[in-house]
Amino acid sequence: MNQVVAATVWLVCGRFVSASPPDELAKYFSAEVPEQALEENYNVAPTTPIYSVRARDGNRSLATLRWGLVPFWAKDTKIGSKMINARSETAPEKPAFRRAFRKRRCLIPADGFYEWAKVAGSKAKQPYFIHRVDEESLVFAGLWERWVPKDEEGKDLADTDPVDTCTILTCAANETMAPVHDRMPVMIPPGSWDEWLDPDSDPDNLRELLVPASDSLLTLYPVSTGVNSVRNNGAQLLERVKRESPDGVLFDPADLGGDPT
């Protein structure tokens, strides 16, 4: 599958690329192909459409959702830009996420994600690309919600199209991620996809899935600071660099334990 990247605005998993064809994703998840196909995007920003897997009546479907969850009670969609991630430790109780955690769970495919590490002695940050060692698709735990436009009194407007949005759950970082960031996306293994997607699953039992991925699952390498701007796109963003010099400061990836070659 083509690589799908996730990046952040100094948060965890706050921008990601979707480059895999929808028919490949649908086959991977044994899901229905979405009505709307997205263009390849190696630098997806919050509030843009992304692929998500949902289940209904026991069948999986690949849908396009707006990234950044908008609670059903929100006055408008602006809040979504602040809801791209949800902490797995508190999401089940938070007013913005608890309803979705109980009944509206989804899977969000990605082939990797970006994260930025601080450069010692500088304000600069070095971006890294994190992906599976076997280059299989990553599958993030997500929540989704449906928002309906409202009138001035906060009542749902009739005859208006609803907006389906989603967020990515995060947890504490594993040892692979820890040198770069203290958080990471929650990843759901294939054997737990059905349980996570089933709206009738016991939410308390699902907490057992909200744990860091195995330390051996992921690997990472430094990439160009070109990913810092959402205006930049394309597969070249995934190219490995030996060292970066943001703000004129040379940075050796070996400083974080990475391979400097």
Q: Round to whole Å and give the CA distance between 260 and 241.
A: 9
* Residues noted as catalytic: 13, 115
Q: How far is CA 26 from CA 61, 139, 188, 194, 251, in A?
A: 8, 13, 17, 15, 40
The 3-state DSSP class for residue 167 equals strand
Local structure of residue 205 (DSSP, 8 states)? H
Q: How far does CA 13 lie from the centroid of its chain?
A: 5
Q: How far is CA 80 from CA 35, 64, 144, 246, in A?
A: 23, 15, 11, 31
